[in-house]
Structure 1
């Protein structure tokens, strides 16, 4: 489940450095009166992934539906409110990731665990110099990623913030047996300590942190649902 930690859904940074190598063309199709399928074409090898966003007004506010790998080219938004206009767009995201760490938690019920849970925080003692994540260099990637088991289904991730111009951080995990990393939390810029509740299939998983920024939006498409 994606956790959005104090990050607005309508972040809108569009830098020239983020211009995709090939434009993305988005299309929307009604597959039922209350289901909309999105399909798109276009590639961007420099992107770490894409997000799909929706709104119920042409100018937003925009809400993130999913973080997706670059190779994904379709998404279905099901069971929508009848007689409502829905607007959609895609945005790529970029930025370097840390090295990964592997963690195993005991699993099971958290009923007897401590009730004190750490809030996202900026730890003191950062690096003497920081680096742009928009230059294509890995020097702005998070470093010294550490994971501490806090309870039967929770861990504390800490890292060194080496970035000067990130929009935030993405926490990504790859459970044992999975093929790819997926985004599990979105964290504000300058944060370098975050507590994460793990899911049952994440008792053993690999974690990494990405300093990221968004690229420019695709075209916006709209459909109005039917139904009663």
Structure 2
């Protein structure tokens, strides 16, 4: 049964309102956009495009409990469209390069050679959207996403940055949630 206009006005006057949007984009300067969403405990992939239907470029995979992303120094007077998608997946394995390999075939193995680490694992999640390799740099309290593979992958190589030699790594079978609605901001004139 449709709500009559007077009844709707009474609801609004009583403090009821439309739900707040769950994914927003705000200009914080003429050329900076901050994206925000509620803390749902998941990680989030953030994408942007310059047209509402793409093509889309991934800005980043953000760790669980992250609720915003700063997209800085954008082209002035340009439309930017954004979407986000939650992701999850149980931790499949952890390793540190140079650690002895475990007999478990699903364990993540890491072999360092110079400034490159090659990771291998046994595929064991038939419905994954890929695998997410995460790094915990020395002294960092948490893991952060560092590489995403295609579905069915069982190996990837990662070039180490200075200071990452004694990092720990973990692997997740990646599963995506629904895409958010697309939000939009047009940057202003540069000052």
TM range (shorter): 0.7 to 0.9
- Picking from 65, 81, 91, the partner of 1:87 is 81
The answer to whether 1:27 aligns with 2:21 is: no
Matched, 1:218 2:187: no
Supply the distance in 1 between the matched residues of 2:128 and 2:21 (Cα, whole angstroms).
Answer: 23
In the alignment, is residue 50 of structure 1 matched against residue 44 of structure 2?
yes
Q: Tell me how far apart the structure 1 counterparts of residues 21 and 109 of structure 2 sit (CA, whole Å).
A: 37
- 8 Å CA contact 1:24–1:218 kept in 2: the answer is no
Gaps of 5+ in 2: 1-19, 99-104
2:167 to 197, 202, 205: 205
- The structure 1 residue matched to 2:110, chosen from 132, 135, 147, is 147
1:39 corresponding residue in structure 2? 36
Q: Say whether residues 1:96 and 2:90 are aligned partners.
A: yes
Match of 1:177 among 139, 155, 163: 139
C-alpha contact (below 8 Å) 2:93/2:172 kept by paired residues: no
Contact 1:166–1:211 under 8 Å retained in 2:
yes
Could you tell me how far apart the structure 2 residues matched to 1:39 and 1:195 are?
Answer: 32
Deviation for aligned residue 1:203: 1.0
TM-score by length of 2: 0.80
1:201, distance to aligned residue in structure 2 (A): 2.1
Normalising to structure 1: TM-score of the pair? 0.67
Partners of 2:151 and 2:68 in 1: CA distance: 29
Aligned to 1:115: none
Q: Which residue of 2 aligns with 1:59?
A: 53
Mapping 1:98-177, distance limit 5 Å: 98-103=92-97, 143-151=106-114, 153-177=115-139
Q: CA deviation at 1:24?
A: 7.1
Per-residue deviation, 1:160: 0.7
Equivalent residue pairs, number: 165
Higher RCO structure, 1 or 2 (CA under 8 Å, sep 6+): 1
* Cα pair 1:50 1:67 within 8 Å, conserved: yes
Q: Counterparts of 1:178 and 1:103 in 2: how far apart (Å)?
A: 17
Aligned-partner Cα distance in 2 for 1:72–1:91:
12
CA contact (8 A) 2:63 2:145 kept: no
Asked whether the 8 Å contact 2:91–2:170 carries over to 1, the reply is: yes
Alignment correspondent of 1:124: none
